Structures are given as structure tokens and as C-alpha cells.
Amino acid sequence: MRGLSYTIADSADAAVAQFAEAGGAARYIAGGTNLYDLMKLGIERPVHLIDVSRIEGLDAIETEGDVLRFGSRALMADVARAPVVRDEYPVLAESLLKAASQQLRNMATVGGNLLQRTRCMYFRNGAGASSTVGVYPCNKREPGSGCAAIDGLDRTQAVLGTSDACTAVAPGDWPVALTALDAVIEIFGPEGTRNVPIADFYRLPGDTPHREFNLDPGELVTAITVRKTPAGRASTYHKIRDRESYAFALASAAVAVEMEGESVRAARIALGGVATMPWRASTAERAVTGSALTPELALEAGQAAFAEARPGRQNAFKTDLGARVVADALMIAAQRRA
């Protein structure tokens, strides 16, 4: 049994100071729904946990003014139920309600959800981890060890943003919706506060797949902000999975549109379940902007989103499935216009 120490931080400053005192061998914890799981698998091995769940103000949900602001320890369930989010930004509410179970949504925080790590079977059972199915190389767990998925079972792996070192899919739903709405992540660390566009928060695997987030040691996510947009009401998060609930996406799309009559004035499209990070589908956005939206055009846009896909041996179906998910999401979003 490994020793583990635990402290409670009453402020962001205190949390960062405690991290420094631990010499970097610490992890922040709020809901713990992902971290505890990773610790049991031996993927995360902190010697010290810093509880940030009691920091005042980090659970705030602010919907007045021109910006939506969600404190990082606001619960997924509470954000999804917030009236402005529920009624005017269905893409955000649906991305939370279609994630995990009600019990987990009542514990998990929206800040922690940003930092979920992949559910790749080789990541969870690889690089020195013993299991009934063996031990597998995984560059996320042990850099330079290899990627078993590339020549292995890859049905659930990514087809976009992959590299020769990793094909693991990003698991989140909420980050996909935030990507479509150009969210900004507020981060506090030893050097103070900085704001990072969500497009710059995640990293492609390249040859360093173990570095997934643009966070420096000791930095703590403190809030997520989304600038209000007329496209919020005409939006949806459409998710296809192997079973109806409590499952990760095989393909998903977060879509928000601004319509002018039957034509699309502006579109925001992001993909989940198919890429190594939340994936902005700019080519699909351009395909529909300025044109009357029809089912045929929506499907063309979906296909454009996967023009650069690199499927493996068993996940080529994701390109067609993903294109149809985008097409369906576009039509659903357009029907919701005010």
C-alpha cells in the first residue's frame, strides 16, 4: 500500500502553495470521479491530494451580462439545470445531461470534466499494469513504450488528430460543446491568472501524447467563460453511442447556428468521439455558411468534416457515422431557431 497525504485548501493561493510544498507530486481534487479511478488503475500516483472543493466562489454559476461564467467546481448537474443554460444554450445542457449517470453528474465538476483522460483500453490496462488481458505498451502512460492500439483493437479509437504515437480518443462531451462556443478557460497558478481559449487548452498527441493539456505544474482551472451568442438557442449536442445511456460517444457533434430565413448566416461545429481532442470542424462550418440549409447540404458538410480522417482497421465506420451525426445535428439546431 502506498502512502498518501491530504490537505484542504481554503483559497486558490493556498492550493497553489500546497502544490509547491509537495514538490509537484500532488494533484488537485474536487469531485474526484475521474482521479480516483485513475489512481486505482495506477495511472495517477500522487503522494499528496489537495482538496479544492471548499474554495469559496469556485462553484458560482453566473449568467447575467454578456458572458456565461461557470466556476470550475460547479457541479455538472447544477450547470445543466441553470435556467439560462437549459433554455438558451441547449448545446451546453445536453452535453452535460448526456454524460455519465445522474449520480456522477451530482458529484463531478465542470472544471474536472475538462481534464478527463481517455478511455482507451490500452491506456487503462497498459505500460506495466497487470490485468486479465495482459500488459500493453502505451505512450500516454509510459512515453516511448509504443502504442498497442495502432496494430490492435481500434474500433473506439480516433480517426482525426492521430499520430504515429497515439490514436486515443478524447472522451469528453462538455469540452466539445465548449469548443463549438469558443469558451475560454480561466487558470490560476504560481504566476497568477491567465485565460486560455479552449482551442489552445488541449494538445494534439504528436510524439508527446502524455502531454494532453496546456497546463503548467501547479496551475488550477478556476472558471470557464462563454460569450453569449444568438446561436445559443439554435444549438444541440447530438451523441451516438453503443448503448442509450452511460456510455462514451462513438461520434458526437455540438452545433450552434445563426439563421437568416432558411440560410445559415454563421455556424459553429465541433466533434467528439472521433478525435484525439475536442475537434473544431471548420470545413463543415464553411460548407453551410451563406447557403440554404437542406438535408443534402448538411450531409455534405458532415462529409467535409471528415475529409482528413485517418481510420484504422476497425473504426472506418466512424467517418460515415460522424458525417451523419453532423448532418442530423445541423438540422436539429436549425429547427430550434427563434
pLDDT for position 337: 84
C-alpha pair distances (Å), 34 with each of 10, 18, 148, 149, 201: 22, 21, 23, 22, 19
pLDDT for position 131: 44
Q: Output the domain CATH number for residue 245.
A: 3.30.390.50
Q: Which regions of the chain are under pLDDT 50?
A: 129-134
Count of domains forming the chain? 2
CA distance 145 to 270: 31
pLDDT for position 263: 95
C-alpha pair distances (Å), 62 with each of 82, 116, 123, 131: 9, 24, 37, 45
Within a domain: residue 112? no
Instruction: Please give the residue range of the domain that contains residue 314.
Output: 235-335
CA distance 335 to 154: 35
To which residue does cell 495482459 refer?
Answer: 134
- Number of Cβ within 10 Å of residue 78's Cβ equals 17
- Cα–Cα nearest to 336, from 88, 63, 85, 83: 88
Q: Taking all residues of the chain, what is their mean pLDDT, rounded to a whole number?
A: 94
- Number of Cβ within 10 Å of residue 133's Cβ equals 10
272 close to 94: Cβ distance less than 8 angstroms? no
Taking the model in full, what pTM does it have?
Answer: 0.95
Within a domain: residue 291? yes
Beta partners for 106?
none
Within a domain: residue 136? no
94 exposed, middle or buried (CB, 10 Å; 0-12, 13-18, 19+)? buried
Rounded to the nearest 5 degrees, what angle is found at the Cα of 102, between the Cα atoms of 329 and 247? 50
Phi and psi at residue 296, to the nearest 5°: -70, -45
Within a domain: residue 97? no
Within a domain: residue 114? no
Within a domain: residue 321? yes
Length of the chain, in residues = 338
Instruction: Strand 26-29: give its sheet, edge to edge.
Output: 5-8, 48-51, 26-29
pLDDT digits (tens, 9 = 90+) for 23-78: 889 999 999 999 999 998 888 999 999 999 999 999 999 999 999 999 999 999 99
Coil/strand/helix, residue 104: helix
Q: Count CA atoms within 13 Å of residue 249 on its CB side.
A: 32
CA distance 65 to 133: 53
C-alpha pair distances (Å), 190 with each of 57, 220, 310: 19, 10, 39
CA distance 147 to 279: 22
Q: Output the domain CATH number for residue 31.
A: 3.30.43.10
Within a domain: residue 287? yes
Q: Give every CB contact of residue 67 below 8 A, 6+ residues apart in sequence.
A: 225, 226, 227, 228
Within a domain: residue 187? no
184 close to 298: Cβ distance less than 8 angstroms? no
